[in-house]
Amino acid sequence: MPLAGQILKRLLVGRPLGSDRLGETLLPKRIALPVFASDALSSVAYAPDEILLTLSVAGLTAYAFSWKIALAVALVMLVVVASYRQNVHAYPSGGGDYEVATTNLGKTAGLTVASALLVDYVLTVAVSISSAAQYAASAIPLLKGHEALAGVAAVTVLTAMNLRGVRESGGAFALPTYVFMVSIIGMALWGFFRYYVIGDLPRAESADLTLVAEPGYEAGLASLAGGFLVLRAFSSGCAALTGVEAISNGVPAFMKPKSRNAATTLALLGGISVTMLVSIVVLARMTDLKFAEAPATQLLRGGVPVGDGYQQDPVIGQLAHAVFDTFPVAFYVVAAATGVILVLAANTAFNGFPVLGSILARDGFLPRQLHTRGDRLAFSNGILTLAVMAGVLILAFDAQVTRLIQLYIVGVFVSFTTSQVGMVRHWNRLLRTSAAGDRGRMRRSRVVNAVGAGLCGTVLVVVLITKFAKGAWIAIAAMVVIFMLMRGIRRHYDAVSVELDPDVDTGDVVLPSRVHALVLVSKVHRPTLRALAYARATRPSVLEAISVNVDPDETQALQADWDRRNIPVPLKSLDSPYREITRPIVDYVRSIRRESPRDVVMVYIPEYVVGHWWEALLHNQSALRLKTRLLFTPGVMVASVPWQLRSSQGLEPKVEP
């Protein structure tokens, strides 16, 4: 890498860390909570919006179900958290749902879970960043219409921070996450105090508007369509559960005792998330907040639709404005903390995706480059892969949360359900062989996981029914593609392993009878003489210099110069009536192989080492094409003999300490 590139890399990523310092990157609970739980915690910034937005289709009367739906989501959250506390104790190695499913249900189930989680991690980044871009655009008019580009910029910043390592990124994200938690819980407590004690809680800015049902829902929720709408609102609210599985994948990143710290962090995550979600939905009811799917036509002022000019602020923004009407500074703190946490929520995926990708690469289901740690002991290739995929998704959906949310949470409930079924089988297996003293604890754990499996399976069915036509089919199709891709990668690695097995006698490892060396010559210059010297030093059985006769005059001049210098290697000129260079050489090499199949043909190609990208376009193109062709010819080896031009001096890569 050029010196300027190295300096830029060190400024962005920092100095490399030795493998012996891996222990320094482990996280205490106070840092692990914002690192692994920011996704689930931040969901309160959009999950209540989605519940109210979906119910608004049936008009104001449907809002009566909002707190019941919030409680149902909270119940699912608590059950899932309790279930995953069993997971982190039973499987602390970091494989999470993938390891649980593979061990107890087989490879097909494991790959199903893995493909679902990979898709969900990408969607986590896309949804969180898109939501943050929408918040930013409502506060900064300059960003209106450029939310997608702002989202991609935010992904780039997150990528750079995560490339510096898990501990550094966690330290940077801890303060904003705690500020968000304190500000939301503080807003809820102050709002409840004003409502129940002082009795002066103001109404939301949208409270004076009238919310009307969309066509077909005039009967409210009494019809079959209304019941379906409640299920849709519940499935959208279940977005609050995304990120719970990230802790089970990230157990190795915790400080010791790893399992206990991970389980404690899970409990904190569940309690805080449930408290914030239910509080926001209840506060929305107290302040008569209106949040419509189509505000221009559904919201009326004086019986007249507000029109396209009406700016509908997010739920948290409206609540903060009402609760802190006498203290505007607190309103800005809540708004800023919400916008920041939505960006940081993607950090959960930036920790979960690379770890899962590394485990899958170790098992041969993804490219092995994903298993390698970077300079800062983070899985850099996984981080970059996630960033690219999420950026493409943000651009493709123009950072519109309402469109992206329909693809969301399908994958996570596939993994939830499969993992909990696997845990039930795990306890069944242990109960058959365990001592009597442990059986009571295992039976209790099995009950928890069985309840989790049943509840998650029910939610999965609801999500599939209510979201499939809205876009969930795209996520399912992506899971199928990734599943097939991982199977194909594993088949390739298995086939290559068999092909390269030294214990399998294929007859290809027989020593050659002779080595026939060829040095390619275009003119007699210093790179050619170096290549000839190297070829002679290897003492081949036969050594020839080869040129291609494209121009007879140039070929004659080359032969005359060759003879004048008394070079002790015969020079052979290959005819090329169509002025091709690659084909005559390849044909000649193949003719040698046909005449002596046990001979090895060694081709030496002089090449320039250049210092500028534009010089690469002016040199070595013929050599590159020739090497590409020769590499596919059995029994042929190719050696590049480099000649460093002056422009390349000083650009050789430095060996870093």
Residue 428: is its pLDDT beyond 60? Answer: yes
For residues 600 and 4, the model is more confident at 600
For residues 608 and 590, the model is more confident at 590
Q: Which of 45-59, 119-133, 232-246, 435-449 has the highest mean pLDDT?
A: 119-133
Q: What percent of the chain has pLDDT over 70?
A: 85
423, 122 in Cβ contact below 8 A?
no
Q: For residue 615, what pLDDT is reported?
A: 67
157-168: pLDDT as tens digits: 888 877 766 555
Q: Is the peptide bond before 367 cis (omega within 30 degrees of 0)?
A: no
- CATH for 38-492 is 1.20.1740.10
Tell me the fold of 515-648.
Answer: Rossmann fold (3.40.50)
Listed residue (485, 34, 19) closest to 250, CA to CA? 34
Give the model's confidence band at 616: pLDDT under 50 very low, under 70 low, under 90 confident, else very high. Answer: low
Residue 432: is its pLDDT beyond 60? Answer: yes
Rounded to a whole number of angstroms, the distance between the first and last alpha carbons of the chain is: 15
Mean pLDDT, to the nearest integer, of 220-247?
72
Q: Where in the chain is the domain with CATH 1.20.1740.10?
A: 38-492
Distance CA 428, CA 418 (A): 16
**3-class DSSP state of 260:** helix
Listed residue (183, 275, 253, 273) closest to 35, CA to CA? 253
290, 102 in Cβ contact below 8 A?
no
Residue 21: is its pLDDT beyond 70? Answer: no
Tokens of 106: 């087989």
For residues 271 and 471, the model is more confident at 271
Name which of 11-20, 276-285, 410-419, 617-626 the model is least confident about.
11-20
For residues 232 and 323, the model is more confident at 323
Distance CA 140, CA 159 (A): 24
Q: Which of 306-310, 406-410, 512-516, 588-592 has the highest mean pLDDT?
A: 588-592
Q: For residue 650, what pLDDT is reported?
A: 55
Label the pairing between strands 299-301 and 304-305. antiparallel
Give the model's confidence band at 1: pLDDT under 50 very low, under 70 low, under 90 confident, else very high. Answer: very low
Q: For residue 655, what pLDDT is reported?
A: 39
Q: What is the dihedral of CA 462, 466, 471, 474, to 10 degrees?
A: 30
Kindly report the average pLDDT of the chain as a whole number: 80
For residues 620 and 438, the model is more confident at 438
Q: Where in the chain is the domain with CATH 3.40.50?
A: 515-648
Q: For residue 550, what pLDDT is reported?
A: 82
Tokens of 213: 């049902």
Q: For residue 191, what pLDDT is reported?
A: 94
Give the model's confidence band at 72: pLDDT under 50 very low, under 70 low, under 90 confident, else very high. Answer: confident
Name which of 287-291, 407-411, 548-552 the model is least confident about.
407-411
246, 348 in Cβ contact below 8 A?
yes
Q: For residue 213, what pLDDT is reported?
A: 77
Q: At 424, which helix (H) or strand (E)?
A: helix 410-431
Listed residue (600, 596, 601) closest to 585, CA to CA? 601
Q: For residue 504, what pLDDT is reported?
A: 59
Distance CA 323, CA 319 (A): 6
Tally of CB atoms within 10 A around 336: 16
Q: For residue 22, what pLDDT is reported?
A: 44
Residue 632: is its pLDDT beyond 70? Answer: yes
Q: For residue 502, what pLDDT is reported?
A: 63
How many residues belong to the chain? 657
Distance CA 73, CA 71 (A): 5
Residue 375: is its pLDDT beyond 70? Answer: no
β-sheet with 515-520: strand ranges across: 571-575, 542-549, 515-520, 600-609, 636-644
Q: For residue 184, what pLDDT is reported?
A: 92
Tokens of 622: 């013929």
Give the model's confidence band at 608: pLDDT under 50 very low, under 70 low, under 90 confident, else very high. Answer: confident
Distance CA 492, CA 176 (A): 45
Mean pLDDT, to the nearest integer, of 335-341?
82
β-sheet with 304-305: strand ranges across: 210-211, 299-301, 304-305
Q: Say which residues have a Cβ less than 8 Å from residue 127's Cβ, sequence separation at least 6.
A: 46, 239, 401, 404, 405, 408
Residue 378: is its pLDDT beyond 70? Answer: no
Q: For residue 280, what pLDDT is reported?
A: 92
Residue 230: is its pLDDT beyond 60? Answer: yes
Give the model's confidence band at 506: pLDDT under 50 very low, under 70 low, under 90 confident, else very high. Answer: low
Distance CA 146, CA 140 (A): 11
